[in-house]
Amino acid sequence: MQWSESGKRGVKMSDDLPRFDPERDTEWRERLTEIQYHITREAGTEPPNSGIHYMEDRKGDYLCICCGHLLFTSQMKFDSRCGWPAFHTEHDNAGIRRIRDTSYGMLRIEVRCGSCDAHLGHVFDDGPIEFGGERYCINSASMDFETEVDDAE
């Protein structure tokens, strides 16, 4: 796989490093579970097929676990069989940041919350062509899921 310097579809890469805010870090350390903190603040990865949202197929919204920012909706989710929740598109207002990640001897595109800079996962270009061909491969532990309220009930 390869990516152009600017990423697909002219999306700009973010080169600026996140600013470390000790106050928010304290809050996150207290509120998040160990795995949630490790993934979002230390760019960890949960084991494949382990995440709570991987097989989730109800309607609803996926929010950043750290700040509640809306990232994806269930309409953007697809069954990639890759072991992690996968989305072909991000929400219009998500503003997800893309960063070059050269760890583990690979060139990958890391994705982070547009609001609080939480590490979410990576984006690959083997997603469904009909939605633009991207696959956001996201850790369950970096997201909260809010089911859609059914008015018919």
Q: What are the residues binding Zn ion (CB under 5 A)?
A: 64, 66-67, 69, 113, 115-116, 118
Q: Are 60 and 145 in contact (CB under 8 A)?
A: yes
Q: Which is nearer to Zn ion, 56 or 144 (CB)?
A: 144
Please give the structure tokens belonging to residue 142: 């970096």
In whole angstroms, how close is the CB of 153 to Zn ion at the nearest point? 30
Active site residue 137: yes
Catalytic-role residue among 64, 113, 116, 137: 137
Q: Which is nearer to Zn ion, 10 or 22 (CB)?
A: 22
How many whole angstroms separate alpha carbon 124 and alpha carbon 76? 15
Q: Which is nearer to Zn ion, 32 or 66 (CB)?
A: 66
In whole angstroms, how close is the CB of 65 to Zn ion at the nearest point? 8
In whole angstroms, how close is the CB of 25 to Zn ion at the nearest point? 13
Please give the structure tokens belonging to residue 102: 């050269």
Task: Count CB neighbours of 130 within 10 A.
Answer: 7
What DSSP assignment string belongs to 7-55?
A: -GGGPPPP-SPPPP-HHHHHHHHHHS-HHHHHHHHH---PPTT--TTTT
Identify the CA nearest to 101 among candidates 114, 120, 84, 115: 120
Q: Which is nearer to Zn ion, 113 or 137 (CB)?
A: 113
In whole angstroms, how close is the CB of 33 to Zn ion at the nearest point? 16
Provide CB contacts within 8 A for 34, sequence distance 6+: none
Catalytic residue set: 137
